[in-house]
């Protein structure tokens, strides 16, 4: 240690008072992660297990509601089958922008796929653009000679959705990152917007890629006798609930969470109002919503109160159904997506 | 320093709220930390666990039917980056009988309510000797149909539901929701209840599953990587 005495006064230039400038990194890497997110954030928009008899020999059509990305991105579909004898299955995917499943279908995919015997066959169909205004998807399996089991229908954002400069913000609110200034410019300014974009674009994307949290799917044909509630003299309660409780896991969900519902249900005859019910179970503030079985796609919301925290945060839901005297009510599909982040 | 996956807490978060409003922000560490965190949070927060009703036959509300109760289900789940293990919530719903010591099986046989649960994964992470087997909440091993071991006794909830497509009035159903095993052992010497290993990745993937004997099922990420950069 030395006690140094200056010969003259040390002059400290104002520039010496500047802190180190904000560098490209780590902001550049984080902004690049936004573009990666646009490709890689792929939660299931739809995940449905058809409640169908084992080894069916018939064409089967399934209709379910969707809330696709506002950006009109590509989606991938996975169809899982198990068959005892090898054969070709025709898979058709259609979209609809209305609420009436009797009309308005547009075919986006049709092809035959060979299903091998006694092994799981997963048919993955990629690059199917789903417009933002699509409200329903119909999946049809056509085959009338051999038996099969339709195991699962999975729909998620395709990996082939590269973020690109469109000259304007995406409808979802996502803004892709062009590194022209930050990565290559000499002493390029670090603008506030670049910092904020890391949050706003990431959350815009998260809000836009909806995550299905529960599903019930049966055939779309009217009066499917399997999923029905027939009113009889033994009914002493207004709703029958023959279905298992659904435990939904929603990491990070707000204490009060809204779930957007889409239901397609029908009746053999008679009144159609308030025949389907979905409710939260096991929470003192649990609420229920009743839906109409009009044969049209019905939209509604259910408020739920998640329990526990972290990875285990969950909600229990129960679906029930009722019938009017002498008639049968059928739920063809009932699905939901939570609103996890506020606007 | 380890980079851990982030789990969001969405309470009070608004997507349009900026990190900062200052026009020329200083190189503040906290500011950069938040800018870096958000894409990571969105990327690694596990996707919601979708709960599926998965009856074999919608006419069989419970698992008594001799043909349909054994039906397996193959399905797949998108998994967000950073996940290392998963578990499942399994809901079983059975019709209650007055002689409830066990459930009634086919041809008058008593049916111990066991189930088989298998996980089919494309990963080769651990578990080479029994890569695709996971047990249930009661701790018995599950190698296939009809295994010996302790039956999975349902917690009798006594949901009192009216008959629906069932001739017996006022049918009582027993229901239980249980998770699969919580032990982490990716290389078991024998089948055992355990968490299902996932290949830790820095990108999302589709994980295939197979289940048997359940009325509803939900897959959820139960553990995340301690260091995604390791």
Helix (H, G, I), strand (E, B) or coil at B176: strand
Helix (H, G, I), strand (E, B) or coil at B5: coil
A207 or A25: which leads in pLDDT: A207
Q: What is the mean pLDDT of residues B173-198?
A: 71
> With an 8 Å Cβ cutoff, is B41 touching chain A?
yes
pLDDT value at residue A272:
93
User: Which residue of chain A is at minimal alpha-carbon distance from B36?
Assistant: A30
Look at residue B116 and tell me whether its pLDDT is greater than 60.
no
pLDDT value at residue A184:
62
Q: How close, in Å, is residue B166 to chain A by CA atoms?
A: 9
> With an 8 Å Cβ cutoff, is A317 touching chain B?
yes
Domain boundaries, chain B: 1-45, 49-224
Cα–Cα distance, A233 to A326 (Å, whole number):
10
Of B36, B42, B170, the CB nearest to A26: B36
Q: What is the pTM of this model?
A: 0.85
Helix (H, G, I), strand (E, B) or coil at B31: helix
pLDDT value at residue A34:
92
Helix (H, G, I), strand (E, B) or coil at A141: strand
Rounded to 5 degrees, φ, ψ at A301 are -130, 155
User: Which residue of chain B is at minimal alpha-carbon distance from A235?
Assistant: B162
Q: Worst-scoring range by mean pLDDT, A3-7, A240-244, B58-62, B83-87?
A: B58-62
Cα–Cα distance, A85 to B18 (Å, whole number):
58
Q: Worst-scoring range by mean pLDDT, A328-332, B54-58, B73-77?
A: B54-58
Exposed/middle/buried for residue A118 (C-beta within 10 Å: 0-12, 13-18, 19+): exposed
The side-by-side arrangement of strands in the sheet containing A60-65 is A60-65, A136-142, A87-96, A106-115
Q: Do A237 and B21 touch (CB under 8 A)?
A: no
What is chain A's mean pLDDT, rounded?
Answer: 87
Q: Worst-scoring range by mean pLDDT, A15-19, A69-73, A189-193, B107-111?
A: B107-111
Between CA B206 and CA A144, with CA A75 as vertex, the angle to 5 degrees is 85
Q: What is the mean pLDDT of residues B75-93?
A: 87
Look at residue A129 and tell me whether its pLDDT is greater than 60.
yes
> With an 8 Å Cβ cutoff, is B3 touching chain A?
no
User: Which residue of chain A is at minimal alpha-carbon distance from B173?
Assistant: A242
Tell me if B42 sits within 8 A of A43, measured CB to CB: no
Cα–Cα distance, A253 to A158 (Å, whole number):
25
Nearest to A205 by CA among B217, B96, B42, B36: B42
Look at residue A11 and tell me whether its pLDDT is greater than 80.
no
Q: What is the mean pLDDT of residues A233-262?
A: 79
Q: Do A37 and B42 touch (CB under 8 A)?
A: yes
Q: How close, in Å, is residue A33 to chain B by CA atoms?
A: 6
Cα–Cα distance, B204 to A55 (Å, whole number):
33
Q: What is the mean pLDDT of residues B184-194?
A: 67
Look at residue A78 and tell me whether its pLDDT is greater than 70.
yes
Cα–Cα distance, B49 to A251 (Å, whole number):
9
What is chain B's mean pLDDT, rounded?
Answer: 64
User: Which residue of chain A is at minimal alpha-carbon distance from B223?
Assistant: A311
Of B11, B91, B204, the CB nearest to A244: B91
Residue indicated by tokens 């060979």: A114
Q: What is the mean pLDDT of residues B158-187?
A: 54
Q: Which domains does chain A have, with CATH numbers?
A: 26-40+161-208 (no CATH), 46-157 (2.60.120.260), 223-339 (2.60.120)
Q: How close, in Å, is residue B188 to chain A by CA atoms?
A: 25
Per-residue model confidence as pLDDT tens digits over B208-225? 877 766 778 899 999 999
Q: How confident is the model at residue B73 (pLDDT cuts 50, 70, 90)?
A: confident
Q: How far is CA B72 from CA A52, A97, B1, B216, in A?
A: 12, 34, 44, 12
Q: How close, in Å, is residue A106 to chain B by CA atoms?
A: 27
Of B15, B19, B21, the CB nearest to A343: B15
Q: How confident is the model at residue A84 (pLDDT cuts 50, 70, 90)?
A: confident
Q: What is the mean pLDDT of residues B88-114?
A: 48
Look at residue B176 and tell me whether its pLDDT is greater than 80.
no
Nearest to B217 by CA among B44, B92, B100, B120: B92
The side-by-side arrangement of strands in the sheet containing B72-79 is B72-79, B205-212, B117-118
pLDDT value at residue B94:
60
- Counted across chains A and B, CB pairs separated by less than 8 A come out at 302
Q: What is the mean pLDDT of residues A84-112?
A: 96
- Whether the bond into A265 is cis, omega within 30 of 0: no
User: Which residue of chain B is at minimal alpha-carbon distance from A247?
Assistant: B51
Of B13, B39, B216, the CB nearest to A245: B216
Look at residue A159 and tell me whether its pLDDT is greater than 80.
yes
Q: Tell me the chain A residues in contact with residue B169 when contact means C-beta distances shorter than 8 Å.
A: 232-234
- Please report the residues numbered 48 through 107 in chain A whose beta carbons come closer than 8 angstroms to any beta carbon of chain B: 48-49, 51-54, 78, 80, 82
Cα–Cα distance, B203 to B200 (Å, whole number):
9
Tell me if B90 sits within 8 A of B199, measured CB to CB: no
């Amino acid at each position: 240690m030395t006690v140094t005495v200056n010969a003259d006064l040390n002059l400290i230039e104002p520039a010496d008072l500047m802190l180190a400038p904000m560098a490209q990194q780590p902001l550049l890497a984080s902004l690049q992660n936004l573009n990666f997110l646009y490709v890689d954030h792929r939660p299931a928009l739809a995940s449905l297990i058809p409640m169908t008899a084992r080894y069916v020999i018939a064409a089967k059509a399934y209709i379910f509601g969707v809330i696709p990305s506002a950006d009109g991105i590509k989606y991938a579909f996975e169809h899982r089958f198990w068959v005892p004898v090898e054969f070709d299955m025709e898979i058709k995917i259609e979209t609809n922008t209305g609420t009436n499943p009797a009309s308005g279908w547009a075919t986006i995919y049709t092809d035959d796929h060979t299903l091998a015997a006694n092994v799981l066959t997963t048919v993955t169909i990629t690059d199917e653009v789903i417009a933002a205004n699509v409200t329903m998807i119909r999946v049809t399996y056509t085959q009338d000679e051999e038996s099969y089991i339709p195991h699962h229908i999975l729909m998620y954002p395709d990996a082939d959705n590269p973020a690109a400069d469109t000259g304007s913000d995406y409808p979802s609110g996502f803004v892709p990152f062009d590194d022209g200034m930050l990565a290559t410019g000499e002493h390029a300014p670090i603008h506030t917007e670049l910092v904020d974009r890391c949050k706003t674009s990431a959350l815009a994307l998260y809000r836009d890629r909806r995550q299905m949290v529960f599903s019930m799917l049966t055939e779309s044909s009217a009066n499917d006798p399997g999923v029905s509630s027939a009113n009889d003299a033994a009914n002493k309660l207004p709703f029958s609930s023959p279905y298992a409780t659904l435990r939904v896991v929603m990491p990070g969900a707000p204490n009060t969470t809204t779930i957007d519902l889409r239901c397609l249900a029908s009746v053999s005859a008679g009144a159609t109002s308030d025949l389907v019910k979905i409710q939260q179970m096991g929470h003192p503030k649990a609420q229920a919503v009743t839906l109409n079985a009009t044969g049209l796609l019905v939209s509604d919301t259910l408020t739920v109160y998640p329990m526990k925290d972290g990875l285990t945060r969950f909600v229990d839901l129960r679906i029930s159904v009722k019938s009017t005297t002498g008639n049968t009510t059928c739920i063809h599909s009932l699905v939901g997506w939570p609103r996890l982040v506020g606007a | 320093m380890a980079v851990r996956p982030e789990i969001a807490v969405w309470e009070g978060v608004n997507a349009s709220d900026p990190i900062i409003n200052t026009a020329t922000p200083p190189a503040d560490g906290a500011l950069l930390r938040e800018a870096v965190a958000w894409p990571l949070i969105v990327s690694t927060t596990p996707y919601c666990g979708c709960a599926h009703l998965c009856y074999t036959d919608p006419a069989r509300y419970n698992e008594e039917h001799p043909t349909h109760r054994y039906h397996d289900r193959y399905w797949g789940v998108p998994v967000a980056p950073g996940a290392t293990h998963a578990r499942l919530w399994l809901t079983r719903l059975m019709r209650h009988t007055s002689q409830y010591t066990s459930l009634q099986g086919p041809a008058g046989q008593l049916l111990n309510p066991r189930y088989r649960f298998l996980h089919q994964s494309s990963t080769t992470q651990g578990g080479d000797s029994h890569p695709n087997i996971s047990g249930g909440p009661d701790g018995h091993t599950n190698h296939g149909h009809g295994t010996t071991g302790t039956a999975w006794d349902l917690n009798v909830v006594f949901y009192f539901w009216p008959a629906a497509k069932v001739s017996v009035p006022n049918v009582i159903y027993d229901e239980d929701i249980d998770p699969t095993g919580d032990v982490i052992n990716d290389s078991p010497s024998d089948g055992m209840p355990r968490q299902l290993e996932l290949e830790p990745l820095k990108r999302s993937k589709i994980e295939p599953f197979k289940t048997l004997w359940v009325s509803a099922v939900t897959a959820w990420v139960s553990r995340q990587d301690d260091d995604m950069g390791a």
